[in-house]
Chain A
């Protein structure tokens, strides 16, 4: 389990030697936001909080800012922009090159049974290829099993914008004791009282559908506010209680 420290680093600042874990193999894994200058200096390249995993001998920076960059395996919410013979061009984030979604990259899709998506439709998909030099590729099924695994076109509901860092925290899941790793319990708390469907995209988008405008809005607003105001778990519980009381 990763031990979280609350060391905040600014770009160019050095990581103190007391934070650097010692592994048996003598190797060290550096994650995003850190740079190694031989022989043994580690400096931050961006502002963020330092996280250390002593078991894996890994170090990385969590930055709350920055735009989304596709990485293989990420679940994203994409918006169809236009369709071509082979694939749909989908926007993951605005003003960035489109990601390609194969016309047949859906569960049980064949030439005749493929879903017809129009410009502006939303899909929940997984990034299957990402590279610096060419467009990312996404797919709505698991290529090895052919199952959709919850991915596919998103109908109705509403899309809310959150920061990519918050989306990551939302998707971290729970540890063995059932505690949220990312420190976000809003959805679990509301989910005990309100029924809704949710899809979190790593590209900073959340899709929520509860069937009614009021509930969808309430849940969405809760998430957006939690992101913008940085509530801790107690504050989250309090705000959820307040919301349920008002509704």
Chain B
């Protein structure tokens, strides 16, 4: 089974000695992220695609929806699934069709952060109780893997969900009409809150905490703490992976730092969405009100 090649002893020793001198290999402070870029498709008919880059890590999220029958035990809820498949495009260590540790952890964390925290209001996806509902599906594609997949994926997922518009529906008695995007403007998904993941990698038994670790830093760390919270400081989940024990008090510093970071993420997503809205809204209200057809 292919796996990420282990870093050499030289690299490992150098990284750790650099960290003990309070420097990271790329010169960032311990609590800084690599430059983040978030972009949406240029095509005005395309919704629900978000492309996130953190340094050399790149994740693309695509949202789609279809009309299905709801689960028998959840008649009033729509269906929301997250699928993340790591393809060899991201790293040669990922294999098609086989789930490895990274993928398992990633999908589990996203599941906990977005789905179980109720970020997406699934009740609003119901069309006719027990008969018809929307199935919203999020597909995550890792295009390049240079560490910190969890944070990048979560950011992409939330941004894509906020960007997505589902087709409008009308219910008349038992009859359901799903309108094409050209007939009626598609509608936004209703989100209850926007949680983001922040990963802390720790070294030297928890004395050194790094945010946004690169692949090499991830390979050399003793463990990680993943905190998911929204901008109000409500924690959705905390996960700690890796054997080494960490002092309880440092969790508090983690959550405080995570809150600051989440606020930055939240602002970034909203700014980019506003920019995208402006691009799509060429002509504004005057264009809407015009009676003339475009030929």
Contact = CB atoms under 8 A, between A and B. Distances in A.
B21 interface: yes
6 nearest A-B pairs in the assembled complex, by CB-CB distance: A120-B9, A94-B5, A95-B92, A158-B14, A213-B18, A79-B8
Contact of B12 (A91, A94, A120, A155): A120
Nearest to A95: B92
Given A79-B8, A94-B5, A156 B13 contact: yes
A241 interface: no
Interface string A93-112: 01100000000000000000
Interface in B247-273: none
B94 to A, nearest CB: 11
Chain A binding surface SS class = mixed
Contacts, number: 50
Given A94-B92, A217-B18, A159 B11 contact: yes
Contact of B14 (A91, A95, A118, A213): A213
A213 B21 CA distance: 8
Interface in A209-228: 213-214, 216-217, 221
Given A213-B14, A213-B18, A91 B5 contact: yes
Contact of B8 (A120, A216, A217): A120
B11 A158 contact: yes
Interface string A157-178: 1110000000000000000000
How large, as a class, is the contact surface on chain B?
20 to 34
Contacts of B181: none
Listed residue (B5, B7, B92) with the most chain A CB atoms within 10 angstroms of its CB: B5
Interface of B: 2, 5-14, 17-18, 21, 23, 25-27, 92-93
A58 interface: no
A216 B92 contact: no
A216 B14 contact: yes
Contacts of A213: 14, 17-18, 21, 23
Contacts of A207: 10
Contacts of B26: 221
A157 B10 contact: yes
A95 B10 contact: no
Listed residue (A120, A154, A216) with the most chain B CB atoms within 10 angstroms of its CB: A120
5 contacts: A95-B93, A121-B10, A154-B10, A217-B27, A221-B27
B10 A217 contact: no
Contacts of A216: 14
Nearest to A154: B10
B14 to A, nearest CB: 4
Contact of B10 (A159, A214, A221): A159
Nearest to B92: A95
Interface in A72-88: 79
Nearest to B18: A213
Interface string A103-135: 000000000000000111110000000000000
A214 B13 contact: no
Contacts of A157: 10, 14
Given A94-B92, A213-B18, A213-B23, A158 B5 contact: no
Given A119-B6, A157-B14, 8 more contacts: A95-B5, A120-B6, A155-B10, A158-B11, A159-B8, A214-B21, A216-B14, A221-B26
